Amino acid sequence: MKHLIVLAAAFVACAAEPDWPAIDKHAVEFLQEYVRIPSISPPSNTAPCARLFAAELERNGLKPKLYTSGPAGQTNLVVRLKGKDSTKKPILLLNHFDVVPVDPKAWNVDPFGAVIRDGIIWGRGTLDMKGIGTEQLMALIALHNSGIVPSRDIVMISTADEEMGGELGIRWMIANHFDEIDAEYVLDEGGMGTRNALAPNKLVFGISVGDKIVLWLRLRAHGTAGHGSQPIPDNANMILLQAIGRAMALPESGKQNPVVEEMRRTIGEPLVVNKFTSAIQRNTISLTTLTSGVGSPPKANVIPSTAEASLDCRLLPGTNAEEFISEMKARINDPRVTVEIISTAPDVAMSPSNTPLFAAMRDTVLKYHPGAVVTPMIVPFGTDSAFLQQRGVIAYGFTPMVIDAATAATMHSDSERIPIAEFITGLHIFYDVLKRQ
C-alpha cells in the first residue's frame, strides 16, 4: 500500500504537472499486476481485472461502475470524468480486459509472469491490450488528480470479451447501457508508430480510422466412417483438405482501398512488403483450427465421418460478406461440405481524419516525435470500435508507442511484449491528448 499512498501524494503535489517519475514507476508495477491476472477468453472471467481497475480508480477519487454480463464472471467497467460542457458528447476510451489463450510450453518465460528483461515487459496481453488499457487508466487518473477539468466528459470502458466477438462486452453494453457510453469519439487499439513496419527507415505513426471486416467461418466435411486399414474415396478428412485448398484460393482483387492510397500519399513512398501491409491491401483467409478423429485421444485406425476447420477471414471495407461466402462455396463446389458463419462484425464507413481530435493526436505525436509522419490507416484485425461506428461514433485506433515490426508481430504469439520506455511515453501522449481536449 505504501507505493499507492506515495502515488496519490505525487498526483496532488503539483496541480500544474503530475509527478511523472512516480506515476511512471507505478504504471509499470500496475501493468505487471494486471498481466498476472490470466483473464483468458474463453471463459472471459474478467471480474478480477475489473476489481483491480475499480480499486485503483476509487483510491484516486473516481467512481467506476461494474456490469456483470455473463455467468462465467464476464464483467465490464465504466468510469466517467466530468467535463465543463455537458452538451458535448464525451470522448470514450475503450480497452478490453480479456486475452487470448496461451501454450505455456511454447513460451520462454511465464506468459502470465510479467517478466521484465532488458527494458521489455513480457506476457500475454502486454500488447493486446493491457498495456494500452493501463495507459488510458493512468492518463485519466493523472488528469483527474492534476485538477484539470476537460472541455467535455471523458469516459473509459473496459470490456469483457473482445476476443470472443464482444457479445458479452461492447455489444452487451450497447444493447443494455448505451447511455453510459454514448460518445462523439472513441479511442481504441489499432494503429501504431513504427520505423520499419510501414515504410523503410521512416518513423510513421498510423492512426486507424477503421478495421477490416471480421468473418469467421466453419467448414464441415461429411464422409463415411470406416477402418483405417481400408482406404475409401469419401474420407471426410480428405474431402476437408481439398475443400480448404479451394476455399483459400482467393482471386486477385483490383480494387484499391482509399485509406491505403492515402497512406501511400502521406508517407510519400510505397509501403514496405510484410504480412501487415499485405493484409491491409486485400481480403485474407487464415486456416486456424482443424478438428477430426474418433475417441479421446483420437484413434489412429478409425476414419471419422466428419471433419471440421475454422477459417479466419478478414475482408476489406466495402466487401459484401454474403457474396464472399457464396463465391467460396462455388469454389469448393462439393455438396459434402458445409460453410457456417461462426462470428462476424459489421461493415462500417471509415471515420474521417479531418476532426479536432485527430488533429490533437497528430500534434501530440509530433511534440514527442518531431519529424514523424502521421497518417490515417486501416488495420487488418477487428476491434470493438466497429460496433460503436455502427452507432455513429467516430472511432480511432491509437497506440501511441513506437514498435518495430518484430514486436508488432508478437500479438497473439508466444513472445508477446512491449518496451517499457514506449509504454511510458504512450501514457504521457494519452495524457496530453486528453488534456488538449
Residue 378: closest CA among 113, 192, 140, 102: 192
Phi, psi of 256, rounded to the nearest 5 degrees: -100, 135
Looking at 300-309, 320-329, 341-350, which range is the least confident one? 341-350
Place of cell 511512471: 24
Q: Using 50, 70 and 90 to split pLDDT, how confident is the model at 335? A: very high
Rounded to an integer, what distance in angstroms lies between the CA atom of residue 381 and that of residue 164?
13
Predicted local distance difference test score (pLDDT) of residue 16: 63
* β-sheet bridge partners, residue 303: 226
Predicted local distance difference test score (pLDDT) of residue 254: 65
Predicted local distance difference test score (pLDDT) of residue 39: 98
pLDDT in tens, 28-52: 999 999 999 999 999 999 999 999 9
Rounded to an integer, what distance in angstroms lies between the CA atom of residue 255 and that of residue 269?
20
Residue 13: closest CA among 142, 133, 127: 142
- CA angle in degrees (0–180, nearest 5) for 369-190-368: 10
pLDDT in tens, 91-106: 999 999 999 999 999 9
Half-sphere exposure of residue 186, counting CA atoms within 13 Å on the CB side?
Answer: 28
Helix axes 20-35, 420-436, angle to 10 degrees: 120
129 pLDDT exceeds 50? yes
Rounded to an integer, what distance in angstroms lies between the CA atom of residue 208 and that of residue 345?
17
Predicted local distance difference test score (pLDDT) of residue 10: 45
Cell of 417: 511484449
Predicted local distance difference test score (pLDDT) of residue 14: 45
Rounded to an integer, what distance in angstroms lies between the CA atom of residue 375 and that of residue 32?
31
6 pLDDT exceeds 90? no
Are the C-beta atoms of 80 and 90 separated by less than 8 Å? yes
Cβ neighbours of 176 (radius 10 Å): 12
β-pairing verdict for 91-96 and 185-188? parallel
Place of cell 495524457: 431
Task: Please compute Rg for the chain using Cα positions.
Answer: 23
Predicted local distance difference test score (pLDDT) of residue 11: 41
Phi, psi of 99, rounded to the nearest 5 degrees: -135, 165
Are the C-beta atoms of 223 and 239 separated by less than 8 Å? yes
Residue 248: closest CA among 280, 276, 219, 214: 219
Q: What is the mean pLDDT of the chain?
A: 94
pTM: 0.89
Cβ neighbours of 54 (radius 10 Å): 19
Four-point Cα dihedral 391, 382, 380, 260, nearest 10:
10
Looking at 7-11, 62-66, 190-194, which range is the least confident one? 7-11
Averaged pLDDT for residues 413-434: 98
Signed CA dihedral, 130, 210, 384, 277: sign only: negative
